[in-house]
Amino acid sequence: MFKILLVEDAKLWGRYITIKFTDLGMPHKWVKNGKQAVEEIQQDSSYDIIIMDTHMPIMDGFIATRKIRKLGYTKPIIGHIPFYRDINLDNCFEKGMTNTITKSSDLKPLLELCNHLKLSYSPNL
């Protein structure tokens, strides 16, 4: 099991993912914008994975990712992209995101990506 920081401004998505993570017994915290994500990592950098919405008010996911990387956070950050947005994926990687995934009500692909990245970045392997 791993600890996840979910960064999502949309209440519907945030609640849905939080309920699913809770049902699965996955430790997580939900913050609602990039500024809160940066502040959370400054307080607690023990998160194994960050799931980062790309478009949020106050501070978007791209700026937040860059700031979090400057803090020395080296673990995976997944860009969580709305299906209706035309996103330049190179921009996601240039800003420091490890991978991207489109938002979907089916969380199986997201969970599989989290598992894959957690194994890839595990210092014990």
Summarize pLDDT for 11-34 with one digit per residue, the tens. Answer: 988 999 899 889 988 899 999 999
Domain boundaries, the chain: 4-119
Size of the chain in residues: 125
How far out from the chain centre does Cα 104 lie? 14
CATH of domain 4-119: 3.40.50.2300
pLDDT at 8: 93
pTM of the entire predicted model = 0.86
pLDDT top residue among 88 and 46 = 46
What are the two backbone dihedrals, phi and then psi, of residue 68, each rounded to the nearest 5 degrees?
-65, -40
Q: What is the mean pLDDT of the chain?
A: 84
What are the two backbone dihedrals, phi and then psi, of residue 26, each rounded to the nearest 5 degrees?
-90, 120
**pLDDT > 60? residue 117:** yes
* 3-state SS track over the chain: CCCEEEECCCHHHHHHHHHHHHHCCCCEEEECCHHHHHHHHHHCCCCCEEEEECCCCCCCHHHHHHHHHHCCCCCCEEEEECCCCCCCHHHHHHCCCCEEEECCCCCHHHHHHHHHHHHHHCCCC
pLDDT in tens, 51-93: 999 888 899 999 999 999 999 999 999 888 876 555 665 666 6
